[in-house]
Amino acid sequence: MSLRSILSRVVYTVYSWRLKQQAAGRHPRHIGIILDGNRRWAREAGFTDVNGGHRVGARKIADFLTWCREAKVQVVTLWLLSTDNVRNRSNEEVAALLEIIPDVVDELARPGNPWRLSIVGALDMLPTDVAARLTAAAQRTDGRNGMIVNVAVGYGGRQEIAYAVRKLLRQHAEEGKSLDEIAETLDVDHISEHLYTSGQPDPDLIIRTSGEQRLSGFLLWQSAHSEFWFTEAYWPAFRKVDFLRALRDFAVRHRRFGA
């Protein structure tokens, strides 16, 4: 190893330690992350098949979850595939993602990993075999007491809200309530109870990689009071030091919760 490599490693280690100290005291309970920039990273890295970026990015996920666990995060929501991706991306890219994502989820569900998986999204948009694999993988983690990991596949924020309202209306209809009675009781809390993330804390921090500064429909309802952190790093190049910077920035923000 060259002297330059040794010095770089020492500097990185010291800087990471410093960031940990600065982030100490207040950590997010729930982190949502938009794993963006896989294809752009692949192009810049010289891949002839940009789907290779998705594969490299997939290998980063377990590392990220380990960092979250070390930071005592309780819930992580990973956005792997949106409803817009399913509708608007090329058939080739969607097919590649639908090969990669079940492998990722199977790996996350393997024995020895402490987290508990929950698949969130419109699984009816996915091929039956893919939906079945995702569901089976999550079921294998039932009973684990570790960090909850929501895997958002076929997910869209508007669709989730519409799903929650439909579910609420059907529940009240089954109880024999009239439309007027339903309207009288319909409120924010009732809708929240029927979201995919029901029973979980709303995200305190949402991270998006790749330099894009928009939510694109991610956790629209739940992110009303979230803090946002955007980084230029593409997801495959996202490092622990980037994660620690996000925690540091979160720790020093004065959260007003809409006040």
The set of catalytic residues is 36, 85
Backbone angles phi, psi at 106, to 5 degrees: -60, -40
Residue (of 98, 103, 96) closest to 52 by Cα position? 96
In DSSP notation, the chain reads: --HHHHHHHHHHHHHHHHHHHHHTT---SEEEEE---HHHHHHHTT-SSTHHHHHHHHHHHHHHHHHHHHTT-SEEEEEEEEHHHHHHS-HHHHHHHHHHHHHHHHHHHSTT---EEEEES-GGGS-HHHHHHHHHHHHTTTT--S-EEEEEEEE-HHHHHHHHHHHHHHHHHHTT--HHHHHHH--HHHHHTTSTTTTSPPPSEEEE-TT----TTTTTTGGGG-EEEE-SS-GGG--HHHHHHHHHHHHH----TT-
